[in-house]
Every structure is written in C-alpha cells, then in structure tokens.
C-alpha cells in the first residue's frame, strides 16, 4: 500500500540555480516600472501536480487549496 510517506516532495535543494538576465527593453504598457517576466509560467502547474500526487497516493481527490491532512480524513 502506498502512503504519502513514500512520496518524494521536492524542496529548495532540488531546484537548479536561477539565471536572471536583463534585456534592456522595457514593457511599459504591461508594467508601470517597465518590468518583463516569464518565471510565473513555470509554476502554474505545480499545485495541480501535487494535488494529483496526493490523489495517486491516497485515492482522495482534493480540489481546493490548502492541501491538509485534515481534508484527507
């Protein structure tokens, strides 16, 4: 039988170094300070992936955040 204790949870140590680059071309219509960003796009599926891992391990589908042990009972 699988449990959440068997599931590997990624932590900061698993994240590769982040390389920040400035391109020198402001995006004034989007941001008042002219900042551009794309980093948020990579994090949009993380919550769904963790919720699916919880479902895979427990068989219980949680559809709202925060994912807590109390909600699994």
Catalytic annotation, residues:
40
What does the alpha-carbon distance between residue 5 and residue 51 come to, in Å, rounded to a whole number? 15
Contact 56, 48 (CB under 8 A): no
Say how far apart CA 16 and CA 67 lie, in whole Å: 25
């Amino acid at each position: 039988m699988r449990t959440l204790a068997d599931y590997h949870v990624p932590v900061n140590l698993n994240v590769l170094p982040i390389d920040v680059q400035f391109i020198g071309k402001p995006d004034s219509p989007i941001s008042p300070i002219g900042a551009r960003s794309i980093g948020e796009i990579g994090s949009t599926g993380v919550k769904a992936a963790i919720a699916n891992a919880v479902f895979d391990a427990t068989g219980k589908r949680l559809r709202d955040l925060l994912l807590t042990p109390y909600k699994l009972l």
